[in-house]
Every structure is written in C-alpha cells, then in structure tokens.
Structure 1
Amino acid sequence: MSNFFKLFFTALLSFSALILAIVACAGSTKNYHPLNDIFIAQLDLTGLQLSSILPSSVASSAISSVTSAVPSYINLGLWSYCTLDSSKKVVSCTSPKGIQKFNLNSLIYDNIEDNQVLSLLDSISSLVLPSNLQDKMTYYNDLVKCMFITILIGIVVTFLNLVVNLIRWVLHLRLLNWIGIFFSLIGFLSLLISVGTGMGTYIYISHLLKDDYDQYGISLSLGRNYLGILWGSVAAALLNLLLWQTVRYDYGRTKYVYATNPIDEKPLL
C-alpha cells in the first residue's frame, strides 16, 4: 500500500473516531433525534416506592394520593439528562451543566412534579435512598469525572492528529510521523479509558441498585447506543494508530541513481 493510501485511510479513521466521540459526548443534550436516544445509562423509576424514599414521618395516606410524582425514566448523559414518560417518549432534556455527576437524591428531588410531595420534604437530604449507594457517592463520581475528562482529551487529541495528518501530506518529515503516532496513541488510550470507566461505574451502580430493588423499586441499565458509538470511536482510533506506524517518512523523496557507462574505444592502429 502506497503512502498516499496510508495517509488517506489514517485521515479517514481519525475523522471517524472524532465524529463518533463528539456524537457520544453530545448525547442527551437536546430533545431531538438522535441525540435524545444517546445516553450512558437509564434510570427506571416505573417501580419507584415512594413510601420507601420519603421520610417515615410522612403519612401513608398522603403518599397513596400521589399518582405521578416523578418521571418514569431518566436518561443520563455526560453533560445533562432527559426525562421520559411511561411510554419511553422523551419529555424534556436539561441544559448542559458541565460534568453530570450521579446524584440519585438530586435526580429524584429535582424531577418531582407533584407539589403535594414536595411539601412533604424539607430538602434533598430528606429522601431516604440505599445507604450502600450514598456511602460510595464520592468514589463513583470520581470515576464519572474521569470518564468525562478523558473523552474530552480524546476528542481534542484526535482532532490534532487529523491536523498533523493533513500537514503530513505536504511536509514529508520523520518528526511529523512520530507526532502523528503519539497523538494517535494518546487519543486511543483516552477514549478507551473513558468507555471503560463509564461501563465499570454504571455497572457497579446498577449492581448496588439491584440489591435494593425490592425495597426502592429503582433500577439502572446501560445505554447501548452510547456504548456502541464510543466503542466504534475506540476501534477507529486503534486502527488509526496501527496504520500510522506503517507510514514512511521518506515519501515523496526523489532518489537519483547515477550510472557510469564506459565508452567503448576502438584501439588505435
């Protein structure tokens, strides 16, 4: 394969990894297709037991009179989240607010739609949620922060890698090859760490919620669209890294070969 095609495919792979990572990063920031279908995880609140999460001082009669206090589902994105009704139709999405930490108390409290329920609560801390989840909030929110930061690094570095690729078409320098390989490696590792920490964090949270589902009626599942898109970005970044290592730095260099042909001379008589 000539250097022309190698550089072309590295550029194509860099561009693919970049676009896929951007799409994954922008998931659930707006209420329109397909962004509202891209989320890291989905909270299922259809079986939520209000009697379990509200303080014990609240009368059961007040709780039973509430038919729809919270949304049925919440889709969690990197920057924001979307609420859904019982038919899984997206109702609204919040505005991007930086790193979207996982705070179950806040997610439920901020989305209680019934004033009667709100009047029963003094603050967010009044909600009674699984203690094993609350105790480790700092731990898994640090992982969420890592997931957020590394995907941003991956996007920036992959863009720089694409720029280096375009420059490499003009300047045939060994240094540009090494820079391209370096950016490819950092981009691949950043995206891999992001998707790995994201999966690990929300699988762990899902496991904790599953242990207390009978009491609280809250479950969590991973977002297949988000993971599929981001894993696609990781795969493109890996192929880009491997292909960069085959690009020759002497492409375009003209080699001259001088040959001396002896002149046949006839002997003098």
Structure 2
Amino acid sequence: MGKASRIACIFTPGVLTIAALISIIFVGLGCTKASSSTLNDLYFLRVDLQNISNSNTKTASEVENILNEHGITSVSASQVSDLIKKLQDDSTLKDFYDIGLLGYCEGDITDNKYTVTSCSKPKAEFYFNPLTIWGLNSTTIKDELPDDYDKIINIYKNVSKWMYIAYLIAFIVTIVEIVVGFFAICSRWGSCVTTIVAFVGFLFTAAASITATVIFSVFRGSLGKTLDAYGISLSLGKNAYIATWFAVAFSLGALVFWTFSVCCCSGRSPYNHKNKDRGLIAEKAPYTYEPIGGQQPYGNQPYGYHTSYPPPPPGESYPMAPAHHQGEAYEPFRHS
C-alpha cells in the first residue's frame, strides 16, 4: 500500500517532465525538415521578401519618407533603391525565410500561400545572417546598409549562441530528471535529488524561452523598421513560442510536484512494522486477563512454573499443579 501511494504521488511530475522534454524537442526540430508541415510552422521569425520581387516596389520618395519616419539618417533613398535593385536582380532569392533554433527554411509564396521548398542542415549555435545566406557579402552592399545593421547582427549572433546553450542544457537536464525520477519511487531522498535537478531544468528552460522571445521581438522591432524601407517585412511565428512556453509551464509544474513528493507520500506502509521496531512496549490495561505461560521462552508451562526459577536438578522436577489448574492459567484482576 505504501509503495502504491508513492508511485501514484510521483506519477504526475513524471508525466509533466516528459511533456516538457517533448516540447523542447519540438522547438529544436523546428525548420529542419522541408517535407514536414508541422516542423515548418515552428519558426521564431519570418523574413518576407515578396515585395522586393514585386514590380510595384516603393518609389524613391516613398523610401525617403520611411527613412525619415524611423529617423534613419545613415543611408539615403538612392542607396536603398540601389540595394533593392540588386536584390531584385538576384534570382536565387526566395520569397520568404523562416528562422528556427538550429536552422532556417526557405520557400515561395503563391496566392498568399507559403510553401517551403528546402531547409538548411541543423547547426549548433545557428544564427541567421541575411547577407551571408543571400550571397550579398560585398563591400558595396554593406556600405548601403545602416550603421546599426552590424551592431544588431552581432548582438543577435552572441545571444543566439547563449540561447542554443540554454536549450541544450535544458534538454539534457530534463532527460536526467526523468532518469533520476525513478529513484524517487524508493524514498524521499530520491525525490529530493530529483527536485534539485528539476529546478535546474526549469531554470534553463525558462532562460532559453525568455531569450528567444526577447531577442526576436527586439530584432523585429529595431531591424524591422530599417528593412521595411527595403521592402522586407519581419513577423514573429506563433507555434514555436507556444511550444517553448509550454515547456516552461510543464517544467514548473513538474518542479512543484517533485517538491511536494519530498514532503508527502512516504513509501513506508503503516502496517509493515511492529511495536518493537519503534522501541515501544504495550501497556497492560487494568481488569484484564493475561496468560502466564503463553509468552515464556520454554513454551506453555504448568501453573506455578516461573522463568526466573533455576532449572530443576537432574532426575528431579518441580511439583505439578492440581489437575483442575492445568493448561493456561490467568493472573488475577489487576486494579492498577
């Protein structure tokens, strides 16, 4: 009964831990397989270039108005127009790019339908560098970009490295939490160790999720204003953030229930021990009968036999009790 209640007590945090691990795996698999529509929807940021290839590109006056509106003074409208023209002439550019944790996917847009055509190979510490991926790493292209571009890209690169490490640690620690959780069935000490591991897992899962949410939100907010002048729009994904914050919620729930299992649900049954194991001696209740010989080390003895007497000499014996007293005898009433 004790073990059964112990298993039931750790069942909930065990399930929550597995759910957190699955959520982290989904985040990591986002934008890694072109043939999977489910994984393709797990992106943090989408870069939309369809307006660049469109013939109705913004005029120079419209571009200048956008630059003035966002306070961009490091580039002119003519430089923006030159870059747009170069982007239009590059036939290898796709209509959109989706950015995930380990890679990106690219595809075409037809009748407002986004179709992924290919994805990059998963890479540790991945970050999306537009000029490198689009093959526009020439000096003239860089000169036509705002001064803040390199600064923002470098920040994004460093933060992406930390984000990858945080997700990796969260993934490994969550696996360890599942393994160590089996020992929690045996004792509260197992629950205590599992709770410590669960705390570390929750800490890194939350840190990774916060980093992903903040960096791509800032990336869209700051760089998105600049790229808007070039006809490039940025938008945040939805499913990737749902998956990562579900991982946080599951990890937090597991931590709470693992902590609860340390204080409650002992694996010891209340019926599997005796009073002598506790060092207790049952007190005789008054006005009760008690057999005299039943608990003697030599078994049932005749009336009058007492274990404190020395054994009789060889060939002799103690006198037997009268016939009507043979068998089990009882001590008189106890009044105190």
Cα distance, 1:136 vs. partner?
Answer: 2.8
Larger gyration radius, structure 1 or structure 2: 2
Q: TM-score, normalised by structure 2?
A: 0.67
1:116 corresponds in structure 2 to none
Cα distance, 1:214 vs. partner?
Answer: 4.4
Segments of structure 1 that go 5 or more residues without pairing to the other structure are 110-120
| Cα separation, 1, equivalents of 2:19 and 2:87 | 52
Asked whether the 8 Å contact 1:157–1:187 carries over to 2, the reply is: yes
1:39 corresponds in structure 2 to 43
CA separation of 1:210 and 1:101: change in aligned 2, threshold 3 A: closer
2:121 corresponds in structure 1 to 95
- 1:137-148 matches, within 5 Å, as 137-148=153-164
CA separation of 1:261 and 1:214: change in aligned 2, threshold 3 A: closer
| Cα separation, 2, equivalents of 1:172 and 1:183 | 16
Cα distance, 1:211 vs. partner?
Answer: 2.1
2:255 corresponds in structure 1 to 241
| Cα separation, 2, equivalents of 1:145 and 1:59 | 33
Aligned pairs, how many?
251
- What is the aligned counterpart of 1:130 among 135, 146, 162? 146
1:72 corresponds in structure 2 to 95
CA separation of 1:125 and 1:205: change in aligned 2, threshold 3 A: farther
Asked whether the 8 Å contact 1:17–1:236 carries over to 2, the reply is: yes
Cα distance, 1:80 vs. partner?
Answer: 1.1
Asked whether the 8 Å contact 1:209–1:219 carries over to 2, the reply is: no
What amino acid sits opposite 1:44 in the alignment?
A: D
What amino acid sits opposite 1:92 in the alignment?
A: S
What amino acid sits opposite 1:209 in the alignment?
A: L
1:113 corresponds in structure 2 to none
Asked whether the 8 Å contact 2:47–2:233 carries over to 1, the reply is: yes
Cα distance, 1:267 vs. partner?
Answer: 5.3
Cα distance, 1:141 vs. partner?
Answer: 1.5
Cα distance, 1:64 vs. partner?
Answer: 9.7
| Cα separation, 2, equivalents of 1:64 and 1:196 | 34
1:224 corresponds in structure 2 to 238
Question: Could you report, residue by residue, the CA deviation over 1:9-57 in whole angstroms, capped at 9, with x for unpaired residues?
Answer: 111011000011011111111112211221121111122379999x96x
Asked whether the 8 Å contact 1:29–1:79 carries over to 2, the reply is: yes
1:11 corresponds in structure 2 to 14
Cα distance, 1:68 vs. partner?
Answer: 4.7
Percent identity between matched residues is 26
Q: Secondary structure at the match of 1:85?
A: strand
Q: Secondary structure at the match of 1:216?
A: coil
Q: Secondary structure at the match of 2:101?
A: coil
Asked whether the 8 Å contact 1:42–1:75 carries over to 2, the reply is: yes
CA separation of 1:99 and 1:8: change in aligned 2, threshold 3 A: same
2:266 corresponds in structure 1 to 251
- What is the aligned counterpart of 1:260 among 282, 290, 308? 282
Corresponding position: 1:106 with 2:132: yes
Asked whether the 8 Å contact 1:129–1:216 carries over to 2, the reply is: no
Q: Secondary structure at the match of 2:260?
A: coil
| Cα separation, 2, equivalents of 1:183 and 1:64 | 50
What amino acid sits opposite 2:122 in the alignment?
A: P
| Cα separation, 1, equivalents of 2:260 and 2:140 | 60
Asked whether the 8 Å contact 2:152–2:223 carries over to 1, the reply is: no
| Cα separation, 2, equivalents of 1:185 and 1:21 | 16
Q: Secondary structure at the match of 1:206?
A: helix
Cα distance, 1:2 vs. partner?
Answer: 4.2
Asked whether the 8 Å contact 1:3–1:248 carries over to 2, the reply is: no
1:117 corresponds in structure 2 to none
Cα distance, 1:254 vs. partner?
Answer: 4.0
Cα distance, 1:168 vs. partner?
Answer: 2.0
* Higher RCO (Cα < 8 Å, 6 or more apart): 1
Asked whether the 8 Å contact 1:41–1:76 carries over to 2, the reply is: yes
| Cα separation, 1, equivalents of 2:82 and 2:227 | 22
CA separation of 1:235 and 1:142: change in aligned 2, threshold 3 A: same
Cα distance, 1:126 vs. partner?
Answer: 3.9
Larger mean CA deviation between 92-101 and 157-166 belongs to 92-101
Asked whether the 8 Å contact 1:154–1:187 carries over to 2, the reply is: yes
| Cα separation, 2, equivalents of 1:227 and 1:248 | 32
CA separation of 1:154 and 1:59: change in aligned 2, threshold 3 A: closer
Q: Secondary structure at the match of 1:260?
A: coil
What amino acid sits opposite 1:88 in the alignment?
A: Y
What amino acid sits opposite 1:229 in the alignment?
A: A
CA separation of 1:65 and 1:108: change in aligned 2, threshold 3 A: closer
